[in-house]
Amino acid sequence: MSLSEWLVQKRNISLKKYVSSSNISKRELYENLWIKCNECNFLMYFKTLNQNYKVCPKCYYHFPTSSHDRIQQIFDSDTWYSLNTSLSSVDPLGFCDKKLYRKRLSDMKVKTGLLDAVQTGIASINGISVACGIMDFRFMGGSMGSVVGEKLTRLVEYSTRLKLPLIILCASGGARMQEGMLSLMQMAKVSSALYKHSEAGLVYFSILTSPTTGGVTASFAMLGDIIIAEPKALIAFAGRRVIEQTIKEDLPDNFQTSEYLFKHGFIDLIVCRTELRSKLYHLLLLYI
């Protein structure tokens, strides 16, 4: 018997013992232990993926990750201090599609443990204090409503008063249609606060993750002094099909990816998630 066959046999025996002594099925156990890469089909332990910042160790595909995970991945331990944690969206228009907007909000709060699609706070990277906003795509596709705009604006103003570097990690499907014009107003509000931040001689790093689209791309996502993107991230304003139908031309296969935008000068750096903390630290040293 080869070593690999012995390891497989030993693992199966352990699994049988564990399943027989618990109430979970073997299928559920495998699903909790293993995960397959969406890009290269590489099969790995879920723990291995988490330890690698949810980046495939074989092809470097970046799995979606939460704002809670990003806080642990980027900042020094126990330095994150949340700001404006009580702000929560209401239903100003009484909006209803397949579900009442207020019901959709309450479901998202239960599912994600968040009050809206962004977390803001103060933390440190290797001892350097920064103000940071982290959008979370799990909450209604990271859509930007009144609360997202208000929290980011307050964060920018707070970082300007304290003269702190500012970092915003973007992950969004765009402005939140359930709040209509109120969500579109947030584009100008956050951008205005960023202008004052820049006039004060302070730095702002924008980090684009997949996806970053719509009104977020059209405003604060592309206003960074340095714009960083994760590899192969989807970054766009309008959808690919809409653009093709408008200009009556086929678009390149890699259109609206980090690599395409970098080649054409729209972003400054493409940085793997596993190297982001180190890269941010070295960039901060240039400005403090």
In whole angstroms, how large is the CA radius of gyration of the chain? Answer: 21
Q: Which residues are annotated as a binding site for Zn(2+)?
A: 37, 40, 56, 59
Q: Which residues are annotated as a binding site?
A: 37, 40, 56, 59
The fold of 62-285 is 2-enoyl-CoA Hydratase; Chain A, domain 1 (3.90.226)
Nearest to 72 by CA among 51, 41, 44: 51
Cα-flanking dihedrals φ and ψ of residue 229, to 5°?
A: -135, 150
Whole-structure pTM value: 0.87
| pLDDT per residue as tens, the chain (288 positions) | 554 454 445 455 554 544 444 444 545 544 568 888 989 999 998 889 999 999 999 999 999 999 999 999 999 999 999 999 999 989 999 999 889 999 999 999 999 999 999 999 999 999 999 999 999 999 999 999 999 999 999 999 999 999 999 999 999 999 999 999 999 999 999 999 999 999 999 999 999 999 999 999 999 999 999 999 999 999 999 989 999 999 999 999 899 999 999 999 999 999 999 999 999 999 999 998
Q: Are 46 and 33 in contact (CB under 8 A)?
A: yes
Nearest to 224 by CA among 179, 175, 268: 268
C-alpha 25/C-alpha 246 separation (Å) is: 51
